Every structure is written in structure tokens, then in C-alpha cells.
Amino acid sequence: MTHPLKQFNFCPKCGSNNFIENNEKSKRCTDCGFIYYFNSSAAVVAIIKNDNNEILVAKRAKEPAKGTFDLPGGFVDMYETAEQAVAREVLEETRLVIASAEYLFSIPNIYVYSGFEVHTVDMFFSCSVKDFSRLKAQDDVEELLFINKKQLNPNDFGLTSIRQGIEKMLNS
């Protein structure tokens, strides 16, 4: 796998192509002196259970991993907490309103978007929902379904971090 800094050839501050590797985490512009650190993007994942101990699973409508299972979630926007992001993403993808969100764990991931490798840290939350009557697949979700926790197969999930999160949840 190519190091993520290889994707950046020009200084984002002055536009110079004298943008060289500074160390394993950064590049430095020899013209203006700007140092760019490549850090992970924050993403959130919702684990939502209904009263039958079934997990809400989304079928992906778009690449990457189109047609595979996923859990509701997405990127954290600027000026947004992780808790606000998980509530927003769940609302956008399912129309459900989160009553509470409890942080569980995080997993690093590489999410390929438009051919660009975005390094993320995916934060998993246990989310409670009081009213499922508004449930409807939308945004980048093709279909929503509830699957009994005992019947979840991590191999049905197309994104590495989600697959690992399902495995971690099943083993706890």
C-alpha cells in the first residue's frame, strides 16, 4: 500500500511543488516552510438494537462496498461532536432520532472515497431509539433491516472496520 503522503504533491499553503517528506507523518514545503501533518479523519458508527435484540443493518447503495451490509454512520463534520455526528448520520440515513449515544470503542480504517484513501478512526456508539415508526432508508442506504445479533455474519459487511466492529461486538 502506498503511503498516504504520496497523494500530496503540492503545498496546500503556497502551491509549491517543492513539497517533500518531512517524516513518516508529515511533508514540508521547502519554499514557505509549511509542515502538513497527515492525520486520521473522525467517523462514527451506530449500533442500534430494537426490543427483540436485533441490530439495525444498512445495505450500502454506493461505493465503496456497494451492496454489502454496513451500520449507519459517516464522517464527523467540522465543529461537530462525535455524539452530534452519530445522531445526524442516523437521522440522514434512517430518519430515526437518537435518544442517547454511548461510546463503545474505536477502530482505525482506510475508506476509499473517489479513489482517494482517507484514513479514519471509526468511533462506535451504542445508540438507543424510542420510536422506530419513521424508519426509512435514505441518503446512501439502499435498504434497512433488523438482524438478530446471533445471525450476524461479519463477512457480510464490506468495510473492514465495520466487519471488525461486528466481530468485537459478537465476542463481547
Domains of the chain: 4-37 (no CATH), 41-171 (3.90.79.10)
CA distance 124 to 113: 20
CA distance 104 to 129: 17
Q: Does residue 143 have an active-site annotation?
A: yes
Q: Which three cell numbers stand for residue 18?
A: 517543492
Q: Which three cell numbers stand for residue 25?
A: 507523518
Q: Which of 21, 24, 143, 167 is catalytic?
A: 143
Could you tell me the pLDDT band of residue 113, with boundaries at 50, 70 and 90? confident
Identity (one letter) of the amino acid at 103?
Answer: Y
Render pLDDT for 47-98 as a digit per residue (tens, 0 to 9).
999 999 999 999 999 999 999 999 999 999 999 999 999 999 999 999 999 9
What's the pTM? Answer: 0.91
CB 135 within 8 A of CB 96: yes
Neighbours of 102 (CB within 10 A): 11
